[in-house]
Amino acid sequence: MKLRSRFSKKGDLIFISHLDVVRLFERAMRRGKIPISYTQGFNPHPIMAFATALGVGVESEAEYIDIQVDEKIETDEFISRLNAVMPGGLKILMSQYIDSSEDSLMAILRRSIYLVKINLEKTFDEEAIKEKINHFLTLEEIIEVKEKKKKKGKGFRRDKNKVQETNIRPLIHDLSLFSMNGQELILKMNLTTGSSGNLKPEVLVRKLAEETDLPIILDTVRINRLELLKEKDGQYVTLIEG
């Protein structure tokens, strides 16, 4: 039996890594006496899977996890037992049983919605900002150059740093000015996430600063993930419906 749950990650807990979250869930399952299933073999692991990793320092309203259990536990009971042993900052918001034949969270994930707070070095009026964003969105190509680290090991490839160029424009589905207060802006964005491509909001913000002349202070960018979406009948909907 598989339970699909949505949880939030806030406060100081935004500073723990994805691997830390995995460990934290494993231990919380034991403390909360959740009848989670384990893999077979010498090194048994609890059977659980996340939709996607969340970067360190990113807040989220909508993370998802699938947990396989050996015996049925009421979802309300599951939520309250788990939340009782979770640290403040991580909270299960909803859970539902899914058919074990359903695709994994990772397989169905398509998009993320973010709110991103940025600070500008000087004030601009709202129209000017919107115009710059619109200009950015009219670009057909926005190339992100990623230098892949040297391959460790033997062979001629070792000496070459591979450079990968990606056009990130097709990964941006929406970008708008959500609100502003002086030099502080909040952008809302809808970006491709998951196995079919992945665009991190901080990369978009950096490209926005490069492609327009918006003087964004890059080391104070603060990101909040609002939702993760899958595709259903041509529509984008949240990973747990209902």
Extended strands (E) in the chain: 2-9, 48-50, 59-68, 90-98, 109-119, 143-148, 162-167, 172-181, 184-192, 222-232, 235-238
Residue in 72, 87, 196, 218 binding another protein, rule: CB under 8 A? 87
Distance CA 229, CA 223 (A): 17
Residue in 19, 71, 122, 127 binding another protein, rule: CB under 8 A? 19
The residues, ordered by sequence, that sit 6+ positions from 39 with a Cβ below 8 Å of its Cβ are: 45, 46, 47
| 178 counts as binding another protein under rule CB under 8 A | no
| 125 counts as binding another protein under rule CB under 8 A | no
| 31 counts as binding another protein under rule CB under 8 A | yes
* Nearest to another protein of 71, 233 (CB atom): 71
Distance CA 144, CA 79 (A): 41
Contact (CB, 8 A) for 5 and 28: no
Residue 56: half-sphere exposure toward Cβ, Cα within 13 Å: 5
Retrieve residue 213's tokens: 């002349």
DSSP tag of 103: P
Choose the binding region for another protein from 60-68, 80-88, 114-122, 123-131 (rule: CB under 8 A): 80-88
| 80 counts as binding another protein under rule CB under 8 A | no
| 160 counts as binding another protein under rule CB under 8 A | no
| 179 counts as binding another protein under rule CB under 8 A | no
| 219 counts as binding another protein under rule CB under 8 A | yes
| 92 counts as binding another protein under rule CB under 8 A | no
* Nearest to another protein of 141, 219 (CB atom): 219
Between strands 59-68 and 222-232, the pairing is parallel
* Nearest to another protein of 56, 94 (CB atom): 56
Choose the binding region for another protein from 83-91, 130-138, 140-148, 149-157 (rule: CB under 8 A): 83-91
| 27 counts as binding another protein under rule CB under 8 A | yes
Helices 18-31 and 75-85 pack at an angle, to 10 degrees, of 110
| 16 counts as binding another protein under rule CB under 8 A | yes
Q: Contact residues for another protein (CB under 8 A)?
A: 12, 15-17, 19-20, 23-24, 26-31, 38, 42-44, 46, 56-57, 85, 87-88, 219-220
